Amino acid sequence: MHPSVRRRLLVSMAGILILFAATLVAMNSTLLESYYTSMEKRMLKNQAAAIEQIIAGTTDVSELDERFEQLERRHSLTISIIGPDGNPRYFTRMGLLDEPIHLQPSFIPQSTRLQPKSPNLTVLSTEQLQDGSVFELQNDQRLDIKYMTIRKIMDDGSALDIRVMLSSIERGAAIASVFTAYAAALGLLVAAVWAVLFSKRFTEPLVQMSDIAGSIAELDFSRKCKILQKDEIGHLGESINDLSEKLSAALEDLKAKNVLLQEELEHERKLDKMRKEFVANVSHELRTPISIIQGYADGLKMNIAANEERRNYYSDVIINETDRMNRLVGDLLELSQYESGGMKLAKSQFDLVDLIVKITGRCFCEKEAETVDLDLPERAEAFADERSIEQVLINYVNNAKEHLKEGGRIRISIGESEDMASWVLRVANDGEPIPESCLPFIWDSFYRADKARSRENGRYGLGLSIVRAIQAMHGRRYGALNLDGKVEFWAEVGKYEEEA
């Protein structure tokens, strides 16, 4: 398993912090003392120049003492000035007395100028400056103390000797090194805690993005990155969210298109099945009348009919079968035109009541009209293709007549739909109910629930298919119901007010 980004970041930050702390401690241990020494050299050089300016600008002895004492106490210095004649002009020992000790000339011989003032002082190193000054590193063997001294001949010929103890420098460097070590350890601890928190905060969005990217790879687009910062990581999170949304939209679009494709394929399969069934049904329906026509035509040709009456009978059979075939072909052409869109609707305003009265007068003789009940309003202004609605009504009426039981009645009525937007044309007849298993299929071409009576009545099962096609073109509903001792067929017809 590869190390995580958080672990690598934490290790890198810890390594940098440890390297920094180790470098700081090492520099304190090796360079701090040298740096202090260099700074002390500069301080001694500056103080020597300051003393020369004080001597040149001050004549009052008490003021000189006070100024020198200030320098000594401020910088922990020991100052001595030997005149050109070898006599001391100023001398002090820091730490022995609060006040400087002014010595008589007889105490310091001439030979002490620019020389160590004690046989216990050993010069460890000497550095000659360009202005003639001399830096000396001295060691007091008796007291085991190291000094840094600048010795300089001033403009009046006096010898200036300024001394500072190096033990304070070494002690300060040691203390600083120890303090730095402790500070580095504490800093490392604080930095480690900070590094842990920072690495967690820094990598948490990355870990979240990684998890969300994995979810996207699994086609789960529900999770989104939380954008808490406006930097490159925030922009990356926004890009992942945008990518997730676009992929989700593309996938949904692909699913929708796949569903449509499946539906189209299923529709094509159904159409292919319907075409095959249609061809089979047409072939079957045409085979019988053609066989009959051929048989009786052969009989006439062979003079089987012995008299005029028989020849007329043969001719009538041929004519009847030809009429049936003509009706079948006409229905097929009409159905084909409706289903293919070849038949264009010519919608207009008309009175549905007048149309029903006209159709019933044409379809029923006087005796049959006595079995028809009309439940119609005074007017029913409709807006539709009048010729098509007439065909719907004729098919419903013919269907009701053919299935009317003996002594039964036919009822034709007009009502309104629940939304009051359409007229509802209803044709009901007393008779045997349609089996519930057959109701969904009665609108299919060549489907006949009562197959025994279909052939002898000259029916081919196309009437209700034509109704279905006409209603589909109008965008209106239709259906059939089994009522108490009745069968009712209904169809919606658009109102004039809605369509106008």
Instruction: Give pLDDT tens digits for 425-443.
Output: 999 999 888 888 887 888 7
Measuring CA to CA, which residue among 314, 320, 393 is closest to residue 361? 393
Q: How far is CA 215 from CA 2, 104, 162, 218, in A?
A: 20, 97, 79, 5
pLDDT number for residue 413: 92
**Considering the entire predicted model, what is its pTM?**
0.43
- Max distance between CA atoms of the chain, in angstroms, equals 191
pLDDT number for residue 185: 79
pLDDT number for residue 201: 72
Which pairs count as long-range contacts for 11-20, CB under 8 Å and 24+ apart, including other chains? 13/191, 13/195, 13/198, 13/199, 14/192, 14/195, 17/187, 17/188, 17/191, 17/192, 17/195, 18/188
Question: Do residues 29 and 21 lie in contact, with contact meaning Cβ atoms separated by under 8 Å?
Answer: no
Rounded distance, CA 431 to CA 485, Å?
Answer: 6
42 CA to centre of own chain? 67
298 CA to centre of own chain? 81
Q: Rounded to the nearest 5 degrees, what angle is found at the Cα of 131, between the Cα atoms of 125 and 134?
A: 20
Q: Where are the domains of the chain?
A: 5-109+155-174, 345-499
pLDDT number for residue 99: 42
* Two structure tokens written together for 46: 């500056």
Q: Which residues of the chain have pLDDT under 50?
A: 93-117, 452-455, 499-500
Class of domain 345-499: alpha beta
Question: Do residues 30 and 167 lie in contact, with contact meaning Cβ atoms separated by under 8 Å?
Answer: no
Rounded distance, CA 291 to CA 305, Å?
Answer: 18
List the beta bridge partners of residue 140: 121, 145
Torsional sign, CA 287, 291, 292, 297: positive
* Two structure tokens written together for 458: 């000259």
pLDDT number for residue 100: 40
Q: How many CB atoms lie within 10 A of CB 311?
A: 16
pLDDT number for residue 66: 82
Burial 265-281 (b: 16+ CB within 10 A, else e): eeeeeeeeeeeeebeeb
Q: How many CB atoms lie within 10 A of CB 427?
A: 24
